[in-house]
Amino acid sequence: MAHQTPTPKASRKMRWALGLSLAVNLLFVGAIGGAVYRNADGPGLDRHRAPELRSYGTPYVRALPRKDRRDLHAELKKDNGAVRPSRAERRAQYDNMLAVLRADPFEVDAVRDILKAQGAAAYGMQTAAHSAWLDRISAMSEAERQSYADRLERELKKPKRKWRKPPRD
């Protein structure tokens, strides 16, 4: 697909809609990766300032024993190349999106293709995380699984934290 010289004619609403769609895809990938990283004793987010955007996978990961969380994180990091594009490839996708957004005429199908590729990467990360988690759970004894279920239940019963928007600069 050939890209034409960028022009400022692209609809502001369309750019916002596409940006929002891209942000949602990235939020999903970030939520899974962040949950694994945060629960592997990485620096993570300040949990008192973060909104209650707990992903479905977060309680499952938090309830794992510390060693299993670390191993899960290491496994996902090790398989990173097979699961998602490299940083350079992701940057190229963003650059491609910028060019498509600025092209005249605007090519909706080109945007869909880029979003589809980014969505596939997010799905690949989610699938890898699910598989690694299930491998850990499957390897547990009955007693370990019962203990895990108890920790998961406690995790799910934790009260929601109130969140206030930080002041704007």
pLDDT tens per residue, range 48-95: 434 344 467 788 888 888 998 888 888 877 765 556 677 888 888 889
| Residue 71 and residue 94 in contact, taking contact as beta carbons nearer than 8 Å | no
* Residue 16 placed within a domain: yes
Domain count, the chain: 1
2 within domain boundaries: no
- 59 within domain boundaries: yes
pLDDT at 20: 65
DSSP state of 164: -
Which pLDDT score, from 0 to 100, does residue 81 have?
Answer: 54
How do the pLDDT tens digits run along the chain, 169 residues long? 555 555 555 566 666 666 666 666 666 666 666 655 555 444 444 444 343 444 677 888 888 889 988 888 888 777 655 566 778 888 888 899 999 999 999 999 999 999 998 888 878 888 888 888 999 999 999 999 999 999 999 988 887 665 566 666 5
Structural domain includes residue 147? yes
| Residue 163 in domain | no
User: Tokens 């650059």, residue?
Assistant: 95
Task: Look up the domain containing 119 and give its range.
Answer: 12-157
Residue at 4 is within a domain? no
Question: Is 5 part of a structural domain of the chain?
Answer: no
